Amino acid sequence: MSVCVTLVSARRAVAPACLWTGWSGWRKACAGGFRLVPSRARSGTRPRAAGHLPVRCCVQICVEGNIASGKTTCLEYFSKTSSIEVLTEPISKWRDVRGHNPLALMYQDPLRWGITLQTYVQLTMLDRHLSAVAAPVRMMERSIFSAKYIFVENLFRSGKMPEVDYAVLSEWFDWITANICIPVDLIVYLQTSPQTCHERLKQRCREEEKVIPLEYLESIHQLYEEWLIRRTSWPVPAPVLVIPADHNLQRMLHQYEENRAKILAASCL
């Protein structure tokens, strides 16, 4: 479990966040520079992302928080900065994989479909982490870490995921984090009360989420606090910047502006 954290720390110690990303088909382990491991038979020049040269020394920031805490709104705000690229959660994929909606299925019957959704979330999050970077700073909504430490954990702890499903997902997660470097330089945690999220969730009115009770948001909140504030549950892969996020939109935008320098300096932390 701690392997990736060690790798990330080691990377910090030896070089200022020098990683290339975006070589689809290639994966890296990054202590002491980097080692490329071809995951598919490939020779010749390194592949490039369509339309972009891969950018070196990109700063990777993950924006974390409860459901409807304001992550997308935060990313929208920073997307107006030319040096920042934002990556929202691949929720459209979770709602439509070849005509199926695993997100809706999970909310209808978590015991049956939790593993299905979370397997796909894990894959699509990994894909997001490793996708080509087009700007010096990348802000990404959540991470493969919160998918596991918060959502999988919540299903399991609440008795809504069978132990065997949890074991299989954990094996996958452990393998991924031991073999693939997932660089994260900063976590921005939008800290809200579950009540605020419940209000915003009702206002947003996403069809699949109409069944979410306040208690569900309370459990997610507790897991986030254990992970990022009390630090009693799982390894934290990067420094954490906590932004209180119960405030109205205007005040939130003001706070984002106030924290801009800290966020952009993430590679120096």
Ligand X SMILES: Cc1cn([C@H]2C[C@H](O)[C@@H](COP(=O)(O)O)O2)c(=O)[nH]c1=O
Ligand Y SMILES: Nc1ncnc2c1ncn2[C@@H]1O[C@H](COP(=O)(O)OP(=O)(O)O)[C@@H](O)[C@H]1O
Residues of the shown chain interacting with ligand X in the complex, contacts defined by CB under 6 A: 67-68, 71, 89, 91, 103, 106, 117-118, 121, 142, 147, 151, 209
Q: At 147, phi and psi to the nearest 5?
A: -55, -40
The C-alpha atoms of residue 251 and residue 257 are separated, in whole angstroms, by 10
Q: Which does residue 73 bind out of ligand X, ligand Y, none, counting CB within 5 to 8 angstroms by kind? A: ligand Y
CB 190 within 8 A of CB 64: yes
Active site residues: 141
Q: Which does residue 249 bind out of ligand X, ligand Y, none, counting CB within 5 to 8 angstroms by kind? A: ligand Y
The C-alpha atoms of residue 115 and residue 252 are separated, in whole angstroms, by 35
C-alpha closest to that of 128 among 75, 167, 164: 75
Q: Which does residue 264 bind out of ligand X, ligand Y, none, counting CB within 5 to 8 angstroms by kind? A: none
Q: Least separation, in Å, of the C-beta of 206 and ligand X?
A: 7
Q: Least separation, in Å, of the C-beta of 89 and ligand Y?
A: 8
69 touching ligand Y, by CB under 6 A: yes
71 touching ligand Y, by CB under 6 A: yes
Q: Any idea what DSSP says for residue 100? A: B
103 touching ligand Y, by CB under 6 A: no
Scan for tokens 């990109």, then name that residue: 58
Name the one range near ligand Y by CB under 6 A: 40-48, 67-75, 119-127, 163-171. 67-75
194 touching ligand Y, by CB under 6 A: no
Q: At 116, phi and psi to the nearest 5?
A: -65, -50
